[in-house]
Structure 1
Amino acid sequence: MVNWFEKRCLLAPDHIAIIDGDTGERWSYREAEIRACRVAGYLQSHGVAKGDRVALLSRNDVCYFDLLFACGKLGAIFVPLNWRLSANELRYILDDCTPKAVVIHDDMQTLWDGEASPYKVISISDAEYEAALQSDISPAVTEQVHSSDPFAIIYTGGTTGKPKGVVLSHASIFWNSVNTVLSWNLTSNDITPTYMPMFHTGGLNALSLPVLQIGGTVIVSKAFDADKTIELINREHCTIILLVPTMYHMLIKSPLFAATDFPAMHTFLSGGAPCPHTVYQAFVAKGLNFKEGYGLTEAGPNNFYIHPEMAAIKIGSVGKPMILNDIKITDSEGEETKPGEVGEIMLRGGHLFESYWRLPEATAQAFTDGWLHTGDLGRKDEDGYFYIMGRKKDMIITGGENVYPLEVEHLIRQHPSVKEAVVVGLPDDKWGEVVAAVVVTLEGSELDEEQLREYCACSIGKYKVPKKFFYVDELPKTPVGKIDINRIVQSYS
């Protein structure tokens, strides 16, 4: 398979490829390619070969590109780790993917438990890593890399509480980028800041890789701050940005938002969760182009295109299928729905994932005749524009992060003072949804909200810990004895 990043670096060696949004440091395409080549040689010197996994624990940083493109040269598999998870959760993922090496950024060291590790542990701050970046070492590639070979494994939450590794091949990532460039009309003049975490497909594949493929510039920033983001957008003449609704909520509340016209920006893009109409209205009032997208780790994540002018008319629509993928809405019998009818969103195209890591049955269940079951609900109007109507059963999206209630429920129910518990998502203007727990305690026990919150925080990522706790004597049930989720959501919304 042709290495597109190497070819891009040959075509535009002096163009700026990557900028550190926090320090301002810049790397040209030539410099980015040199870094990737030297890191590949360094990994190979430590025994990393085709098919081996290389994990990374880091906030957004240039090292994501160092390691991704280094793995691409070797045929190794890049595994970005969610640094918001607890040590136990990270350990489960590492045990599942069994990496040959784990690379840890300086500010992530506290998450590493310090126990003896069967993996080669590499610290970004180590003199050895820095020396490799300054050396002339290069990899001796002995095996050809094919388009169907795994390029990355991105772990997502599972409905049973166990993360699943989504295997993205070289072809999956390539076709998502090509599809995005063609459908969204990206050019080498585009400059995008990446605030979405790069361990997510949104941070890595939505804009970062497509912009690099076309020869533009990607700015990596570790943390989102509304005022600093606006200043960066204007200072670096950014043209397109992807944020989750929670970030947009904070952005439009900033006084700087009202004070600037964002002269270089042509598109503000929202993803990760349905966006409140108040955000649309704020951008329309300023005459700025704003639109929504839809995707998932298993597909893209880019699947739709809508012109910003049409997005202002058909508020809430994600548009029409992009050039190189197909989309349909099907009913419970697998038949396509009529315009206006709600059904499951089905996707097809070269950008789909290859498999779930070591889960052949789950992989087979995800497809029907080449079409991916998303588990999400949508509808199409008479003009062919699609709308997202729901989401995977029971899943909560809070600030762009996916939380599966069953995982949190299992944990809360294990507390010795808890009799019953149910976890739901409640509407929230800032976060889209907040995780809420309705709890029944054992008679005579004393368990306050802060104690339960601290208990949860010891075992799961902070974003999964319920922001709201409600104590009741009994959970409402349906006539057949099941917990009445709809009634609970209605009662506390």
Structure 2
Amino acid sequence: MRWELDWLENRARLSPNKDAIIDEKTNKAWTFEQLNKRASLTACWLQDKGVKKGDRVALISPNDISYFDLLFACGKIGAIFVPLNWRLSPHEINEILADCTPVLIGIHQQFEAIRQQLNNISTFFIGDVHYEAQVSYTIKEEISETDPLAMIYTGGTTGKPKGVVLSHQSILWNAINTIVSWSLAEDDVTVNYMPMFHTGGLNALSIPILMIGGTVVIGEPFTGKNAVESLNRYHCTTILLVPTMYHMLIQTDEFQNSDFPSMKIFLSGAAPCPLPIYEAFQKKGLAFKEGYGLTEAGPNNFYISPEDAQTKQGSVGKPMLFNSIKLVKTDGCATESNEVGELLLKGKHGFSFYWNQEKETRETIKDGWIHTGDLAKRDEQGFYYIVGRKKDMIITGGENVYPLEVEQWLAAHPEIDEVAVLALPDEKWGEIVAAFIVLKQTYTLSEKELKKYCESKLGRYKIPKQFIHLEELPKTHVGKIDKKKLKEMSIQI
């Protein structure tokens, strides 16, 4: 394995006694030396179980140090780490497992019920690995920077999840780019409440801060009160939350009463941030800004200074040091200032391919550019603004929901005639999933019955928060359901 790929071992040599990870619940801390030893022993343990280069190792767990154990262990032996969204239904998890075919699945003890519903795959409880022994794993095959290191599943426009394959290079360069562009330093401390099965939980701040020698506090679960207390207790300097979390945070007495003396910057991501959140931080004189990213690229792509964030509210800033960005119109030509176009990204932080989906990969990566499907504009000073989504996606509380998946399941109900699912604005969640339903004649379905039906197949965050019954759905002149008209109608309901 090339020396620069196992940067954790090098960091452990440079900062052996510095705290790398702290668990918020127990206050237990692990130094970089201890973190590297855990990863090395886990790598040895995986090899003893028969894991080879290219094999997938999955994990179902709340935020926990086991994410780092398995990610770094897989990196040492060339395996591929696959963190799974435990909020999905067992049916959805089994579909993903059938796609990525892991040889082992690590499971947190609290998910014993999920374990019992998995389809014939070897599992182990993450507490079964012990970290006291002397270890010696073997690099059996050469590992290169373009080899896969992690695979993170994201939703697809067809409703089927896609495995985004991230190479050693992708994760390494996202961290380097973030450290340099955001001026991270070894005195930086963050508490991570973002789910670590998402790229935001692993790659947005955790990996960059660890690489530079800072400290990551693992937080779980999130409450506004706990977040404020942990930010002050651990002398945090930065944090990344989704707008829904900030909505909860700013309403607490703890937020109103704290000066946050150690905090340098509050970061928002995963969805556009409502302006009232900006105003709450501005009122307290706290630096606040938002960014933009996606699993396929980084997820970090822009930088904006706290000063510019105040005058350019809603902007994600300018491209970072080691990535390129352009906006193109439908004809492929570059946009002018303040003209909306599709956002394209390029850099060594980009993903390699979608697992088992060659067609989707070709449609997304063209001439080295990642076509995000998101729409943006750039002002005269070069600041970028995300203005919409080309793909028909809903972002609710930081979770991506594709309407077609929900529509297909609701449409399969024998008593439903027509259905359309779309996003409606919501102060707390940013957006909520709303379902407009036309029932077959003589049938009645209550909201409780509809939610119970959805629970049998869909993750909780995908279940519509509103079910709106109509006699018929509006159509365009070519017979398609007119979702724009539905959104207009929802305002009047």
TM norm structure 1: 0.98
Residue correspondence of structure 1 range 351-366 to structure 2 within 5 A: 351-366=349-364
Aligned residues: 488
Deviation, structure 1 residue 392: 3.9
Contact 1:57 1:80 in 2 (8 A): yes
For the pair 1:123 / 2:121, whether they are aligned, the reply is no
Contact 1:86 1:458 in 2 (8 A): yes
For the pair 1:102 / 2:105, whether they are aligned, the reply is yes
C-alpha RMSD of the superposition: 0.9
Residue correspondence of structure 1 range 10-89 to structure 2 within 5 A: 10-89=13-92
The residue aligned with 2:166 is 168
Contact 1:318 1:388 in 2 (8 A): yes
Deviation, structure 1 residue 333: 1.2
Q: Percent identity?
A: 55
**1:265/1:449 CA distance change after superposition, 3 Å:** same
The residue aligned with 1:342 is 340
Distance 2:98 2:118 in 1: 14
Amino acid at match of 1:120: S
The residue aligned with 1:223 is 221
SS in 2 for 1:253: coil
Contact 2:90 2:118 in 1 (8 A): no
**1:115/1:97 CA distance change after superposition, 3 Å:** closer
Deviation, structure 1 residue 142: 1.5
Residue correspondence of structure 1 range 3-402 to structure 2 within 5 A: 3-114=6-117, 117=120, 119-126=121-128, 129=129, 132-402=130-400
Distance 1:490 1:104 in 2: 45
The residue aligned with 2:401 is 403
Distance 1:474 1:188 in 2: 60
Amino acid at match of 2:82: V
List alignment gaps of at least 5 residues for structure 2: none
Amino acid at match of 1:355: F
Deviation, structure 1 residue 137: 3.1
Distance 2:49 2:117 in 1: 20
Amino acid at match of 2:190: T
List alignment gaps of at least 5 residues for structure 1: none
Contact 1:330 1:337 in 2 (8 A): yes
Amino acid at match of 1:100: V
Distance 1:180 1:228 in 2: 27
Distance 2:201 2:100 in 1: 21
Contact 1:87 1:113 in 2 (8 A): no
Distance 2:52 2:285 in 1: 51
String of CA shifts for 1:98-129, please: whole Å, max 9, x gaps: 11110001112222234662x32111233xx2
Task: Pick which of 74-83 and 154-163 moved more.
Answer: 154-163
Distance 1:84 1:398 in 2: 14
Task: Pick which of 388-397 and 316-325 moved more.
Answer: 388-397
Distance 2:416 2:89 in 1: 22
Distance 1:392 1:51 in 2: 34
The residue aligned with 1:480 is 478
Contact 2:94 2:119 in 1 (8 A): no
Amino acid at match of 2:443: S
Deviation, structure 1 residue 367: 1.8
For the pair 1:436 / 2:434, whether they are aligned, the reply is yes
Distance 1:345 1:115 in 2: 38
Contact 2:56 2:79 in 1 (8 A): yes
SS in 1 for 2:200: helix
Deviation, structure 1 residue 491: 1.6
Contact 2:90 2:117 in 1 (8 A): no
**1:115/1:306 CA distance change after superposition, 3 Å:** closer
**1:288/1:35 CA distance change after superposition, 3 Å:** same
String of CA shifts for 1:165-202, please: whole Å, max 9, x gaps: 00000000000000000000000000011111010000
**1:291/1:411 CA distance change after superposition, 3 Å:** same
TM norm structure 2: 0.98
SS in 2 for 1:146: coil
SS in 2 for 1:344: strand
Distance 1:367 1:300 in 2: 15
Distance 2:49 2:187 in 1: 38
Distance 1:228 1:392 in 2: 36
Deviation, structure 1 residue 232: 0.4
SS in 2 for 1:390: strand
String of CA shifts for 1:239-270, please: whole Å, max 9, x gaps: 00000000000000011111001000001000
Distance 2:414 2:359 in 1: 35
Distance 1:114 1:322 in 2: 44
Deviation, structure 1 residue 402: 0.1
Distance 2:119 2:164 in 1: 27
Amino acid at match of 1:22: K
Runs of 4+ in 1 over 6 A off after TM superposition: none
Deviation, structure 1 residue 134: 2.1
Amino acid at match of 2:123: V
Distance 2:112 2:28 in 1: 23
Deviation, structure 1 residue 368: 2.1
| Alignment match of 2:469 (pick from 466, 471, 474) | 471
The residue aligned with 2:449 is 451
Distance 2:10 2:358 in 1: 35
SS in 2 for 1:42: helix
Contact 2:60 2:86 in 1 (8 A): yes
